[in-house]
Amino acid sequence: MRVYLEFAKKSFQNNMVYRMDYFAGVINAIVMIFVNISIWKAIYEEEEILEGVQFKILATYIVLSFLMQIVYMMDEYFIEAKVRSGLISSDLLKPIYFRLYVFSYHAGTMIFKLVMQFAPAIILSIFLFKLLPPFSTVMMVCFLLSAALGYLVLYNLNFIVWISSFWFYWTFSLVTIKDAAVMIFSGALIPLWFMPQGLVNFIKLTPFDSIFYTPIRIYLGMVPADEMVSSIIRQVVWVIVLFGIGQVLWKLGTKKLVVQGG
Amino acid sequence: MVFIEVKDLVKEYKLNIRNKGLLGSIKSLLIPEYQLKRAVDSISFSIERGQTVGFIGPNGAGKSSTVKMMTGILVPTSGSISIGGLSPYKDRKKNTSRIGVVFGQRTQLWWDLPVIDTYELLKYVYKIPEKIYKSNLEMFSEMLGLQEFIKQPVRQLSLGQKMKADIAAALLHDPEIIFFDEPTIGLDVIAKEKIREFIKQINKEKGTTMLFTTHDMVDIERTCQRMIIIDKGMKIYDGSVEEIKNKYGKDRILAVEFSQHYEKINIPGVELIEEKGNKKWFKFAKDKTQVSDIIHLLTQKYGILDLTVQEPEIDGIIREIYQGGINLHESLSRVC
Amino acid sequence: MREYKLTELLVIFYKYSKISLKTTLEYKFDRMLMAFAIFCREMISVVIMLLILTRFLHIKGWELNELFFLYSFLFLSYSLFVFLFAGIRDFDGMVHSGEFDRFMTRPLGLLFQIIASRIDLPATLGHGIVGIILFMNTAFSVGIQWNLSNIVYYIVALIGGAIIQASVFMLSSCFSFWTLKTENLRNLIFFNARRVAGYPISFYPGIIQKLLIFVVPFSFVNYFPAQFFLRKDETYLFWSGYMYLTPAVGIVMFILVYLFWKIGVRNYSSSGNSLY
């Protein structure tokens, strides 16, 4: 276990090197939140309440979504780079669980973003955008749990795409298409309640809404108590399903790698 | 006639200092610190037309920076370079039309396309007249065996083939000077030998001035008349390869195969360094002990099957210089 | 050696383009998939806009087809930019791979080689197709008379927009001369600024409007040219002269950035794999 902690720490420190990227990340998030809130303000210009949602609730939704997007940002080409450089073979020979190693790398980065980017950005947001506090303490705890599950859903979904590099070597196209699907269907840019019912029915069959939409709705207190458990269970189920698919592909991929000798 | 003139060349870099540890790295992230590093520290030398010169030195010694300034890639911090009267960076375009550069670790060939496609492009880039292009291509094909792989995509070539193709690419426009940066790195012995042969022949036939940076001392021994050693940004030796060998390669190795196993062999001035079966290796200093004396003594006392004298390898000498075993600053001051 | 004649440079440019195209064709399937992926990525904001407008019909007096017309400028001019100047976009990578060092050892202009050595067809197509879809669906339904002067204005605006975007990219590339890695920073600023400019700048608070006019002048890529055609009620918000400034802004920006670039080349410290 110790070794994975070390990986995570290394990855955390790695992020420190790129100073420009660091500041850019924080400033960019603030600007993007600002801009998106402006667009929604323009939409709300004529009415006070849309679909029974007040503007300040929507603003909180947007702020949270963009801040979570920072924390959820992952190094999409970590595995691809290893496969193409051939380093993957030597990594597989090491006495470590590769999947856990990849996860600890991303966890380190995630914690970096949480501490160094999310924390300052959320403090700024409270002042700049009048971010609403969580609906209640219970909801706050549920939100944290749900957000962590959202991260895991996205991580395991990503892993499936990343592992495809065992077959395709270049995964830019797949990663980009996946990103587009996540951005549109997960409610990261527009809450699902503003979407046509047909589309929402479709999204409910996919893991996408478990990533951003579910945790944010919990934060805002829009999930009734009786729905809470089922929402979170849905997230857990998706984590398990996606992890399972990833595991099958992983086994097939490593087998292929062994057969072809990298 | 002096062709290349380098005077008091200096190159400084600004380096980012990174602090260690978690807190240190957070500090570096927020408040960057810099430090000036003098990679090249007033180096001067001149090279005549048609000479072959090898630059050697440990990693980070400043040889790459020196060569990059001579090719116009880097602008010197101070000092001057003149190549046939032109400044490599002020008259970049004029100067580059008469130089060729081979980077051993980075090809200039179009990775996904056949070698010939890159050559065709270079023909236009360097405005090579059709006649010269054809005759050069023919000549290089013959000498390097290019025709075997000239129509294959570069990514499918072996390391040796790639290097041959790369060298030919750098020579297509008949440059007056050619820079080789690690031209034989990673190649097998046969490919290395072939490339050295080719380089020597081009130097002889076209009179091209050649500059090398390499870690492979055999490259230098086989292809260079002159050697410049750079360490910590300063020139510490400038002279022929032979000279340094004569002066510092004082030790000789004598390998003897005896007819039977002898427990102890005692000859004054000779030291046993290795032994394997009936074979023994001895070391002696050639200016103190005559090799004929040793052989005489040995043959008198022992039964001997075979006997060879080995010269020291230049590699070993250079290694010793880097490690400070040989102090060039004092002993060679007269050479520089 | 004598200087290159313009015709010789054109021949070299043509040879480079041919060789790039040949490379692209080596990986037909992969590049087509890439173009599709870029298309999907660019459709994100279009789809979001569509979803919002399906629900709300108009924002501040702007209807869906007007917004799409406004947006089409961004895609078409970017497509044009990336078709002509993909090398400027990829310059960071050229420095880090040592390709730029190679350019410096050749008797051609640096900018010429950078531009000539890259053509990115997937990006050209990915962005271009989004632009064409938006344009074809809106150009004839927002009340524009496509007479000669309007067509000329449109084309000049597109070219001006492409030069503005090229300058933004080149500005960030300049930092690679000081071994600063700005690629991520640039992509962030650029693509987000573009997403921002997707909506009329009148939607935004003053500071963002000023940023988009004076700092990252995307408003000249799409808002002002679109306003020239649409003449929405809000024209009084900005000086009407802005509508004719797109090419001038492009040229001035490019000259300023080029001077900065010249300084950069002098300060270049090649990285490569052996620094000293």
Grouping H, G, I as helix, E, B as strand and the rest as coil, residue B49 is coil
Best of B19, B25, B28, B34 to disrupt the A interface (most A CBs within 10 Å) is: B25
A partners (3+ CB pairs within 8 A) are: B, C
pLDDT one-digit tens code per residue, A144-173: 999 999 999 999 999 999 999 988 878 899
Among A43, A176, A184, the residue with its CB nearest the CB of C59 is: A43
pLDDT of residue A11: 83
- Model confidence at A53, pLDDT cuts 50, 70, 90, reads confident
CA distances from A115 to A7, A151, B30, B203 (A): 17, 16, 15, 62
> If you compute the radius of gyration of chain C from its CA atoms, what whole number of angstroms results?
20
- Model confidence at A258, pLDDT cuts 50, 70, 90, reads low
**What's the half-sphere exposure (Cβ side, CA atoms, 13 Å) at C183?**
11
Chain A positions touching B25 (Cβ under 8 A) are 13, 16-17
Q: Which chain C residue is nearest to residue A174, measuring alpha carbons? A: C37
pLDDT of residue B17: 73
- Model confidence at C273, pLDDT cuts 50, 70, 90, reads very low
Q: What is the least distance, in Å, from the CA of B71 to any CA of chain C?
A: 6
Residue-averaged pLDDT of chain B: 85
Amino acid code (one letter) for C20: S
Best of C60, C96, C233 to disrupt the A interface (most A CBs within 10 Å) is: C60
Best of C9, C105, C177, C263 to disrupt the B interface (most B CBs within 10 Å) is: C105
B155 touching chain A per CB within 8 A: no
Greater model confidence, A13 or C252: C252
- Distance, CA of A26 to CA of B305 (rounded, Å): 79
Give the length of chain A: 262
Cβ contact, residue pair C184, A45, below 8 Å: no
Sign of CA dihedral A218, A222, A225, A229: negative
Q: Which chain A residue is nearest to residue B29, measuring alpha carbons? A: A19
Cβ contact, residue pair B18, A13, below 8 Å: no
Cβ contact, residue pair B28, A16, below 8 Å: yes
pLDDT one-digit tens code per residue, B281-299: 888 887 778 888 888 888 8
- What DSSP string describes B271-298? EEEEEETTEEEEEEETTTS-HHHHHHHH
Task: Tell me the backbone φ, ψ of residue B232, rounded to 5 degrees.
Answer: 50, 40
A13 touching chain B per CB within 8 A: yes
Amino acid code (one letter) for C205: P
CA distances from C34 to A81, A85, B77 (A): 18, 21, 44
Residues C137-155 as b/e (b if ≥16 CB within 10 A, e otherwise) read: ebbeeeeeeeeeeeeebbe
- Model confidence at A259, pLDDT cuts 50, 70, 90, reads low
Q: Which chain A residue is nearest to residue C180, measuring alpha carbons? A: A20
pLDDT one-digit tens code per residue, C142-166: 888 889 999 999 999 999 999 999 9
Instruction: Give yes or no for a contact between B17 and B96, defined as CB atoms under 8 angstroms apart.
Output: no
Grouping H, G, I as helix, E, B as strand and the rest as coil, residue B32 is coil
Record the tokens describing residue B12, joined without a space. 């400084």
Record the tokens describing residue B137, joined without a space. 């291509």
- Model confidence at B326, pLDDT cuts 50, 70, 90, reads low
Segment 60-99 of chain B within 8 Å of chain C by CB: 60-65, 68, 71-75, 92-94, 96-99
Share of chain C above pLDDT 90, in %: 52
**Backbone region of residue A187 per phi and psi (left: phi > 0; alpha: psi in -120 to 50; beta: other values):** left
Grouping H, G, I as helix, E, B as strand and the rest as coil, residue B241 is helix
Contacts 24+ apart (CB under 8 A), C54-62: C54/A196, C55/A194, C55/A195, C55/A196, C56/A43, C56/A50, C59/A39, C59/A42, C59/A43, C59/A45, C59/C199, C59/C203, C60/A42, C60/A45, C60/C200, C60/C202, C60/C203, C60/C234, C61/C232, C61/C233, C61/C234, C62/C200, C62/C232
Cβ contact, residue pair A19, B25, below 8 Å: no
CA distances from C222 to C78, C161, C165, C233, C242 (A): 11, 8, 11, 17, 11
Greater model confidence, A51 or C209: C209
Cβ contact, residue pair B113, C19, below 8 Å: yes
pLDDT one-digit tens code per residue, B48-92: 999 999 998 887 788 888 988 999 888 899 999 999 889 998 888
pLDDT one-digit tens code per residue, B156-183: 898 899 999 999 999 999 999 999 988 8
ipTM: 0.88
pLDDT one-digit tens code per residue, C211-231: 889 988 999 999 999 999 888
Looking only at Cα atoms, what is the longest distance across chain A?
64
User: What is the DSSP-derived secondary structure letter of residue B117?
Assistant: H
